[in-house]
């Protein structure tokens, strides 16, 4: 499958930011163009989980991640929460797909309700209305009936609900192995080729 040309990725304040950062890295390595959005609470999670001071200014995040992942000029663009003139805010310039990773249940509820109170929610609303692929990676446990009803509502619209539940049949040895398992599943949903792990029935040499 041909990788989508443009993928919007959103970080929200749920636990699991290493999944989102690794996803951005893999998308850039695969040659995709990435539009990155992030919430204010994601900055707190970044410090807690990754000892990363995620800057408040999108331009600083763009420069830092572009350098870290050796992105081509213009390959990664980062937008602010209220940047309503950003490309993801309009159906006239939608991405090929969007991933909210990690996704808080509050963000999931807002998307299900079509609230569009910030750029993340609006971008997701655009992707749904334009019939593009939307993947939500909710990190919460246990799920309440409210959470499940919101997920069901979105799933019926064609949204992919992908909780970050790593498997163990590939005998993970490190935390990175567990992260890569989940990111591999997200990339599969996007149709982006990868060699993060062997597929079922293959050994790692065959997968690479």
Q: Is 24 left (phi over 0), alpha (psi -120 to 50) or beta?
A: alpha
Q: How far apart are CA 59 and CA 147, in angstroms?
A: 34
Q: How far apart are CA 71 and CA 68, in angstroms?
A: 8
Instruction: Please enumerate, by residue number, every residue annotated as part of a binding site for dimethylallyl phosphate.
Output: 169, 185
Count Cβ atoms below 10 Å from residue 152 Cβ, excluding itself.
12
Instruction: Please enumerate, by residue number, every residue annotated as part of a binding site for FMN.
Output: 13-15, 39, 104-107, 139
Instruction: Please enumerate, by residue number, every residue annotated as part of a binding site.
Output: 13-15, 39, 104-107, 139, 169, 185
Residue ranges of the alpha helices (H) in the chain? 17-29, 40-50, 58-68, 105-113, 119-129, 145-155, 175-190, 204-207
The DSSP string of 125-165 is HHHHHTT-EEEEEE--SSPPHHHHHHHHHHHTTT-EE----
């Amino acid at each position: 499958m041909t990788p989508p040309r443009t993928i919007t990725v959103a970080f929200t304040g749920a636990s699991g930011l290493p999944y989102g950062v690794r996803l951005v890295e893999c998308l850039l390595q695969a040659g995709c163009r990435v539009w990155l959005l992030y919430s204010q609470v994601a900055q707190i999670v970044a410090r807690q989980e990754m000892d990363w001071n995620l800057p408040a200014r999108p331009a600083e995040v763009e420069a830092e991640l572009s350098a870290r992942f050796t992105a081509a000029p213009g390959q990664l663009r980062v937008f602010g929460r209220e940047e309503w003139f950003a490309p993801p805010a309009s159906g006239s310039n939608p991405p090929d797909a969007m991933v909210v990773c990690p996704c808080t249940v509050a963000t999931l509820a807002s998307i299900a309700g079509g609230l569009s109170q910030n750029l993340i929610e609006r971008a997701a609303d655009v992707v749904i209305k334009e019939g593009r692929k939307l993947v939500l990676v909710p990190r919460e446990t246990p799920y309440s009936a409210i959470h499940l009803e919101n997920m069901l509502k979105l799933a019926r619209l064609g949204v992919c609900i992908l909780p970050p539940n790593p498997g163990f049949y590939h005998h993970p040895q490190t935390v990175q192995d567990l992260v890569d398992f989940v990111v591999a599943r997200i990339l599969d949903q996007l149709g982006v080729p990868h060699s993060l792990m062997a597929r079922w029935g293959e050994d790692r040499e065959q997968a690479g």
